[in-house]
Structures are given as C-alpha cells and as structure tokens.
C-alpha cells in the first residue's frame, strides 16, 4: 500500500509538471502572437509622407552615403517619411569608393540633390528649397514655396568624398 501511495504521489507530481509546462507554452505562444500582431500593424503616416512621395514623383534624386552626417541630417528633416525619398546610396559597403551610378552622375559631395530641371543642390537642402525646386507643396500649404522667397545661400555644408 505504501508503494502505491508513492506511485500516486509521483503521478500527481508528473501531472502537475505537465500542466505547468502546458501553461508556460500557452503563455509563450500568446506573447509571440501578440508581438507578431503588433509588428504587422503599419506605422502611422509621417508628417511628410505626401511631400516625400511628391519629391520622388517629380524626378528629383537624393544622392548620399550611409556614413555621411549631413545625409543623416537631411533624412532626419523628413522623420519617418524618409522611406519615401528618392535616395540613391553612393558609398560602397566598405567605404572604399563610390557606386558606379554615382561615378557616372559625377557626385563629388554629399548630400547632392539632382532635380528634373537639371539643377543641383549640394549640402543640406531646406524643405522650402526642395518644395520650390520640385513643385511639391509642404504639409499645410496649398502651393509650393515660391523660388523668390528663398534665401540665396543656405549656408549648408556637405560631406566630401573620402580620400
């Protein structure tokens, strides 16, 4: 009888461990499912989504390099809307030179903007200048910024190509 009681206690402990393990797996699965669901929700639209898309549609191109602080600052002006910019990466992954597309375009500094009218802007370019050059209205405005209202020099600097 004593042996039967010990076996019953072992079975009860085993059942208890199985129930605990099952609950842990269920909780883990719920956490993972919740994480996947949250990751699948698209981010809210950025303030400059329409503006950045319009710039891309205008034919403008933004040439830059991943290591360039001025390029990072230019992108930061757009916040989460930077994903819609017509960005062209010029630097090779090991920073040893330029991509062929940037060599062919004659890019000498970053950031460089090329516009559909053939003009360029090198250095950090203001949103107002981008509006005027692309014909895209800034958020909250019904028309692009007028060219005559822009300063003649932005005073922005650009990052030179490495050695």
Mean per-residue pLDDT, 61-76: 97
Cβ atoms 132, 60 nearer than 8 A: no
Per the structure block, which two tokens stand in for 159? 């990052």
Mean per-residue pLDDT, 63-91: 96
Quick one: pLDDT at residue 143?
Answer: 77
The pTM of this model reads 0.66
Quick one: pLDDT at residue 151?
Answer: 47
Quick one: pLDDT at residue 161?
Answer: 64
Is the per-residue pLDDT at 7 higher than 70?
Answer: yes
pLDDT tens for 99-140 read: 999 999 999 999 999 999 999 999 999 999 999 999 999 998
Cβ atoms 43, 81 nearer than 8 A: no
Quick one: pLDDT at residue 142?
Answer: 78
Give the ranges where the chain is alpha helix by DSSP (H). 2-40, 49-57, 69-76, 100-105, 127-134
């Amino acid at each position: 009888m004593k042996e039967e009681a010990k076996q019953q206690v072992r079975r009860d402990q085993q059942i208890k461990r199985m129930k605990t393990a099952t609950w842990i797996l269920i909780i883990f699965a719920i956490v993972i499912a919740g994480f996947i669901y949250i990751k699948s929700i698209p981010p809210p639209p950025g303030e400059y989504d329409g503006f950045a898309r319009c710039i891309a549609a205008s034919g403008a191109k933004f040439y830059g390099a991943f290591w360039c602080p001025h390029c990072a600052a230019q992108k930061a002006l757009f916040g989460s809307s930077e994903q819609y910019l017509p960005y062209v990466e010029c630097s090779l992954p090991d920073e040893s030179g330029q991509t062929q597309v940037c060599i062919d375009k004659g890019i000498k500094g970053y950031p460089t903007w090329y516009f559909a009218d053939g003009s360029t802007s090198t250095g950090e370019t203001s949103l107002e200048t981008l509006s005027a050059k692309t014909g895209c209205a800034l958020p909250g405005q019904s028309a692009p910024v007028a060219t005559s209202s822009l300063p003649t020099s932005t005073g922005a600097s650009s990052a030179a190509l490495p050695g």
